[in-house]
Amino acid sequence: MSKKTVRIKVRKEKLNLPRSIHRIFPNVKTAVDAAQPIEIAVAAKDCKDATRLNPSECALAKAAKRELRADGVIIGMSTSYVIRGDQAIRFSTPASVQREIVSFDRHQDFAPGDYYLTPKAPSMRLGKTGGKNKGSNHKSRRKIHHSARVRLLPKGVE
Write down the domain spans for the chain: 20-123
Per the DSSP assignment, residues forming a β-bridge with 19 are none
Centre a 10 Å sphere on the Cβ of residue 6 and count the other Cβ atoms it contains.
12
Tell me the pairing of strands 30-33 and 87-92. Answer: parallel
Which tens digit of pLDDT belongs to each residue from 55-114?
999 999 999 999 999 999 999 999 999 999 999 999 999 999 999 999 999 999 999 999
Amino acid at site 98: Q
User: 82 in helix, strand or coil?
Assistant: strand
Amino acid at site 7: R
Output the pTM of the full model. 0.77
